[in-house]
Structures are given as structure tokens and as C-alpha cells.
Amino acid sequence: MNEYLDGISRGNRVVLAKALTLIESTLEVDRTEATKLLGKLKPVIKDTIRIGITGVPGVGKSSFIESFGNMLTKQNKKVAVLTVDPTSQLSKGSILGDKTRMENLSKNPAAFIRPSPSGGALGGTTLRTRESILLCEAAGFDVILVETVGVGQSEIAVKGMVDFFLLLILAGAGDALQGIKRGIMEMADGLVITKADGDNKKKSAEARAEYQQALQLFRTDESGWSPPVLTCSALEHIGMEEIWKMILSYKEKTSKNNFWKLNRQRQSVNWFHEYVEQGMMTEIQQSPRIGKLIQKLELEVIQNNQLPVLAAEKLLAAFRRKLSST
């Protein structure tokens, strides 16, 4: 434990990587050690920025992050990148190949890239993304970039983990009607049209105008911030400084009206509730008596002798009795 704490405080990448592996482990002995580690971490005093980045497959998330990350390191920022790869429901494996897509950034001494499997978690993140963010901040990183799986409009879980939620869009991927669909669009704090280079420049400019117009139909967010729409080219390294200025402007505005602090406080409370829910589910699954009841109720549901909702009510009633008896 002391080696973990000392290595993380010194920004040792090898130790940080081992600590992240410990945090992600599902083994009970590792979960116990991970909890101890989190409890002993010193609170981060320095100002950090957590940025969530999402977009459909092919939008160029990895290319964008590499260009954006290298730009930030030139401004003396230490950048940690947490990427999420989908876990196969069949083999239970993940490719974890994002690091190979960011070859230059992975060699940058001021950057750290950590690919992690989604582990079946919904919303484009992993079950331990929040803990991973805390470890990276404790290791001295100024900017934490969280790249989601990239599966569409349902990827809003990351919104509850970061300070700024960035949505990457391809020009020509949809009209203005597509832009005003509720869901991920109204969650974004900023939109960026990617691959705005070569013959795609005109399309990108048109898409920017369409999306900016579509965003006017949304009500103003509690933060008081109106999401801008920008364009960029990761290939030509164009637009990265403007995107960073947008994020800093958001931070300045929301810090003044106290939303920045309020948002992090709410995220901590939500984290608490989610962790309790996960723990209760584990408790249910590991109880021998409850486990037998689950098997019995599953069989009744399969044989159409019990409605799923009624079977669930019976299980919850049994769990409540278990709690009241302890």
C-alpha cells in the first residue's frame, strides 16, 4: 500500500498503471485493497479539468485526442487519457487498441494513456471510471480526458463524471432535425465538427451553422452556458486551441456562478448512490439463500408461472427481510 501511495504521489506511471489494474479488478481481495487505497489517497488541491469526449464510431475520437493532447502538453499541461473499449458479450474480452491509435501521444512524457474494458457497463464508460479519474489526479495530471465507447445517443453516463462534455460530430451525418433530437445533444457542453479539412471544409462549415441553429431550440442549461459549435482538423492540427479556449471559458463562467463546484458535489453524491446500488446487487447475488430464491423465481418466469415484475417484488421482499434480521 505504501508503494502505491508513494508511487502515485511521485507520478510514477508504472505504479499508476498497477493501481488502475487493482481498481478495475473484480476479485474480492483486490476490491478490499482498492478501497483501502482510495481511502488513503490525499485530496487533490490543484485545479484539474475533467473532459468527457464522445461521438459515433468513425468520427475520429482517437485522432482528435492525440492532436488535442499534444497541444495541451505544449502548454505545460500533464494529460491523462482514459479510453473505454467495448467488452464482448460472447468472449468477455476487449481489444484495448486505442493506445496504438495515439502513437505520438503515447510517447509524450507529459501524457498517460490507459485503455480499459467497459466490462458490460452502460453509458460508454467503465464501472471504475470515477476511481480512475481520482487516481490520475492524485498522480499529478492536470487534464483528464475520458473517451467513451462511441455507440450513439445513449452515452450520457460520462456526463455525470466530468466537468465538460464534448460531443464530436461528422459533417453530413444528419440534418438539422437530427441535431435537435433529445438525448446526447442536449447533454453536450460543446460540439465539434471533426475532419474539417480538404474537400470537407465546406460541408463542415454548413454543418456548424445547422447545428448552431438547432441548439437555439434547447432551453438554457442550469449552468447558464450556451454550447458553441466549432470545427477542427486533427490531421492538420487546426482548431485545437479554439476548443481549449472554449473549455476554459466554460470553466470561468461556471466557476463565477458556482455551478462548477455544485456540479462536482452532485456527481459525488450520485457516485455514492451508484456504489451503494452496486454493493446491494452484489450482496443479493452472493447470499446463498437469496441465490436459491433467484434460481427458483427465474424458473417460474421461464415457465410463465410468474410475471417478471411479481418475481422481482418477491425477491426484493426477501432481501428486505434479510436486512431487517441483521
Report pTM: 0.84
Instruction: Give the pLDDT of residue 151.
Output: 52
- Name the 3-class secondary structure at 24: helix
Instruction: Give the pLDDT of residue 91.
Output: 41
- Helix, strand, coil: what percent of the chain each, to 5? 55, 15, 35
Q: Sign of the CA dihedral 269, 167, 115, 280?
A: positive
Instruction: Give the pLDDT of residue 175.
Output: 47
Q: Domains in the chain, start-ordered, CATH in brackets?
A: 1-42 (1.20.5), 43-257 (3.40.50.300), 268-325 (no CATH)
Instruction: Give the pLDDT of residue 89.
Output: 42
Q: Cα 12 vs. chain centroid, distance in angstroms?
A: 23
Give the residue ranges of the chain where pLDDT is below 70: 85-100, 117-126, 149-156, 173-183, 326
124 residue type, one letter? G
Alpha-carbon distance of 52 to 133, in angstroms, equals: 11
Kind and range of the H or E run holding 109: none
Strand partners, 143: 49, 79
Q: Which residues lie closer than 8 Å to 207 by C-beta, 6 or more apart? A: 169, 171, 172, 193
- Residue reference for cell 469526449: 53
Q: Sign of the CA dihedral 181, 123, 259, 137?
A: negative
Beta pairing, strands 229-231 & 143-147 = unpaired
